[in-house]
A and B are shown apart, each in its own frame.
Chain A
């Protein structure tokens, strides 16, 4: 069974600073990988996804993520954080083949200081 680990429960950064949120997955093959963002009281919005091809994936709102097979990681990055980026971020992994159901990590809460 697949699983996802987001080692950081909370991350605090200053506005304008760079950001990296960590995600490690466990799966027997190359999975589908996703990052979602959830603002308070809202559903999840897809930031970016990796299915195949280029291991550096560009997403919305200036986010990018890099799939590293050797490290089983899919870390999310942003060069300059805005106050509006404060939210909960979820990494998810989906199995290839058959019916795709994502397994989510526990999330990382991003706090942005002015």
Chain B
């Protein structure tokens, strides 16, 4: 079974631009979560989508948004990029069929904002 895939793997943007990152979960998984990883703040939860609905949201400004499609693929968007948005963005999927779920992570998208 293929793992979680994320595209693109690397991205360079300039301040003020916007960016869209994509995540394809493991086949059959309906929950997709996004995390931001930086040296200063560590791993921080951004949001979780389940069946095309945002189910949980972390403490990030409204510039960070996401969506999930009917095939469970998810995208996250960051508008008006700031230097501090430079980070590794990780996507994770889970089957969410019960209480003992495990998240499986993709390799991440490394975003550099100049």
Residues of A within 8 A of B (CB): 32, 34, 36, 41-46, 49, 51, 90, 96-97, 99-107
What is the CB-to-nearest-CB distance from B94 to chain A, in angstroms, rounded to a whole number?
Answer: 8
Q: Most A CB atoms within 10 A — which of B4, B45, B110?
A: B45
- A51-B100 contact given A42-B107, A43-B90, A99-B56, CB 8 Å threshold: yes
Q: A43-B108, A45-B105, A96-B99 are in contact. Are A106 and B42 (CB under 8 A)?
A: yes
**Interface residue B33 (Cβ < 8 Å from any Cβ of A):** yes
Residues of B within 8 A of A (CB): 4, 33, 42-43, 45, 48, 50, 55-56, 90, 92, 94, 99-108, 110
Main secondary structure of the interface of A (DSSP, over half): loop
Task: State A103–B99 Cα separation when bound (angstroms).
Answer: 17
Contact, CB under 8 Å: A44 / B56? no
Q: For A101, give its contact among B33, B42, B107 (CB under 8 Å).
A: B33
CA distance A97 to B100 in the complex (A): 10
| B42 lies within 8 A of A107 (CB) | yes
> In whole Å, how far is A15's beta carbon from the nearest beta carbon of chain B?
27
On whether the beta carbons of B48 and A99 are closer than 8 Å, the reply is: yes
Q: How far is the CA of A101 from the CA of B94 in the complex (A)?
A: 11
Query: Considering the chains assembled together, what is the distance between the CA atoms of A94 and B61 in angstroms?
Result: 23
- Chosen A-B contacts, 9 in total, with CB atoms closer than 8 Å, are A32-B100, A34-B102, A36-B105, A42-B107, A45-B105, A46-B102, A90-B43, A97-B99, A99-B55
